Amino acid sequence: MLVKRKLTTVALLTGALALAAGPASAQEAADPELLAALSDNLTVVFVGIAAALVFLMQAGFALVETGLTRAKNAGNIAMKNMADMAAGAVFYWAFGAAFAYGAGTFLGAQGFFSPESVLGNGTQFVFQMVFAATAATIVSGAVAERMKFGGYVIMSIAITGLIYPIVTHWHWPLTEGVGAWLAEMGYHDFAGSSLVHMVGGVAALMGAAILGPRIGKYDKDGRPKAIPGHNMPFAIVGVFILWFGWFGFNGGSQLSAGGIGDADAISTILLSTNVAAGAGGLVAMFVTWLKSGKPDIGMTGNGVLAGLVGITAGTNFATGAEAAVIGAICGAVVVFAVLFFDRIKVDDPVGAISVHGVCGAIGTLAVGVIASGEGNGVGEATISLATQGIGIAAIAGFVAASTGLLFFLLKVTVGIRVSATEEMEGLDVHEHGSPGYAPDVVAMGIPTPSSAFGFAAGEVAPTAHPARE
């Protein structure tokens, strides 16, 4: 996030070994250019591995969303997640990195089509790009099963190429004096509780609200009805992949592995990340157990993700105990947030708004409690609950306005919602020309146990399929 440190413990160890080998080797190892090169090489490898872990999270999102929705839309879910990564790879390269890290006040204006010129190298670009794709793909689950694919692609391009880069420019400089007005104020979000997850969650809220609920989600009296996901093991495997990838998401945000203190910092980050995930999952499990008499599978998975989202902003400050508290709070809140959005008729099939939007804000506010008075590494301002609240309001307000306008314009121009017939028969065939599963599988219908929380319910999904008629 800040200027990389050059002096490395690995380089010092190399020097010590060289001293043991002889005077000539010691002189060579003490060369400042060699030390700097070793530091840079170690950082490139570390950030590259972290980027790969975050890239893998896209597969986790795809499995979570597929498992928590119906079989007739499985291919569409996979296609949207693939489109997010493809859009990020091209549009973040062309424009996003320049808007995020080029010099400028509100947004950057240099580095177009050459992100390495503002990010230092291609590895740093890839790491930042997979974050942009993550912000976009959060929207996918909330608008699942009823949004036109063409409109979704336009939304994904807008988030990865413009909207997400603007808010990151406000806070994540790689060099001093480049944007980052939020950071200079004292705002702190280490790895993206607000800048990635809340951005995606707010965009998801606007999309789900403007699209309207799925057919059959509410009865004639306006009461929410559970629409079952078709594959809970898919969803939970997706949660495990996301948990695994989060070690790269948070750990890699140190952006350096070669400096003195990096090892301790990364260890703190990984420990707090893991503890928060476990606490979130356990609390969500017990809350649903107490409310309905049974521990809900899908909600427990969302509790894990809520804990991960919540700790991401302050993972570099949090002790294990603080991480456990943050994760536990998010694990409890996500249960009630999902029920709340159901009651106000915002249909979010996977709980993305609650997990990423609500818990992203909670985790960012928590930094103002656990790190109050600490410096965030930019200027002389210190972290406080007030500055955290101002930053959250600024980011959420901008994203709500920009994505709300985007969804509205799409609605009145190209259209964003499929027809009722297409929704009932499934988006796989109507939007992409082929089912995600063999037609015989889709036509069977897959009943699942009843649940009070909507992630699995005792009703069979509509089975109409063009190939069977």
**pLDDT given for residue 307 in this prediction:** 98
**pLDDT given for residue 180 in this prediction:** 87
* Residues 356/200, Cβ–Cβ less than 8 Å: yes
**pLDDT given for residue 234 in this prediction:** 97
Q: Which of 3-17, 193-207, 373-387, 442-456 has the highest mean pLDDT?
A: 193-207
Cα–Cα distances in angstroms (integers) from residue 85 to residues 101, 102, 259, 401, in the given order: 20, 22, 31, 24
**pLDDT given for residue 455 in this prediction:** 40
3-class state of residue 179 by DSSP: coil
**pLDDT given for residue 277 in this prediction:** 98
If you average pLDDT over every residue of the chain, what do you get? 89
**pLDDT given for residue 178 in this prediction:** 65
pLDDT band at 258 (very low <50, low <70, confident <90, very high): confident
25-34, 45-54, 130-139: least confident range = 25-34
Task: State the average pLDDT over residues 277-281.
Answer: 98
Of the chain, the percentage scoring pLDDT greater than 90 comes to 78
Task: State the average pLDDT over residues 24-28.
Answer: 53
Residue holding tokens 């995606």? Answer: 200
Q: What's the DSSP call for residue 227?
A: -
* Residues 280/303, Cβ–Cβ less than 8 Å: yes
Residue 265 clears pLDDT 60, i.e. is over it: yes
By C-alpha distance, which of 397, 416, 391, 394 is closest to 406? Answer: 416
Task: State the average pLDDT over residues 326-336.
Answer: 98
Q: Give the Cα separation of 462 and 228 in Å (integer).
A: 11
Q: What's the DSSP call for residue 380?
A: S
162-171, 291-300, 449-458: least confident range = 449-458
Task: State the average pLDDT over residues 303-330.
Answer: 98
Task: State the average pLDDT over residues 448-458.
Answer: 39
**pLDDT given for residue 378 in this prediction:** 84
How do residues 107-132 score in pLDDT, each as one tens digit?
A: 898 999 999 999 999 999 999 999 99
Beta bridge partners of 182: none
3-class state of residue 224 by DSSP: strand
**pLDDT given for residue 106 in this prediction:** 87
Q: Give the Cα separation of 132 and 162 in Å (integer).
A: 10
pLDDT band at 15 (very low <50, low <70, confident <90, very high): very low
Residue 460 clears pLDDT 50, i.e. is over it: no
Q: How far is CA 450 from the centre of its chain?
A: 29
3-class state of residue 168 by DSSP: helix
**pLDDT given for residue 456 in this prediction:** 37
**pLDDT given for residue 38 in this prediction:** 87
Q: How many CB atoms lie within 10 A of CB 216?
A: 13
Residue that wins the pLDDT comparison between 100 and 25: 100
**pLDDT given for residue 427 in this prediction:** 97
**pLDDT given for residue 450 in this prediction:** 37
Residue 314 clears pLDDT 80, i.e. is over it: yes
CA-based angle 220:221:222, to the nearest 5? 90
Torsions phi, psi for 112 (to 5 deg): -65, 130
Residue 13 clears pLDDT 70, i.e. is over it: no
What is the pTM (predicted TM-score) of this model? 0.89
Residue holding tokens 């099963």? Answer: 145
Residue 35 clears pLDDT 50, i.e. is over it: yes
Residue holding tokens 């880069």? Answer: 165
CA-based angle 172:123:357, to the nearest 5? 40
Task: State the average pLDDT over residues 440-450.
Answer: 49
Q: Give the Cα separation of 223 and 202 in Å (integer).
A: 24
Residue 144 clears pLDDT 90, i.e. is over it: yes
Instruction: Provide the token pair at 458.
Output: 């005792």
Residue 379 clears pLDDT 50, i.e. is over it: yes
Of the chain, the percentage scoring pLDDT greater than 70 comes to 86
Q: How many CB atoms lie within 10 A of CB 225?
A: 14
pLDDT band at 369 (very low <50, low <70, confident <90, very high): very high
Q: Which domains does the chain have, with CATH numbers?
A: 36-421 (1.10.3430.10)
Helices marked H in 30-143: 32-67, 74-87, 97-101, 116-119, 122-142
Residue 442 clears pLDDT 70, i.e. is over it: no
* Residues 289/281, Cβ–Cβ less than 8 Å: no
24-33, 334-343, 351-360, 405-414: least confident range = 24-33
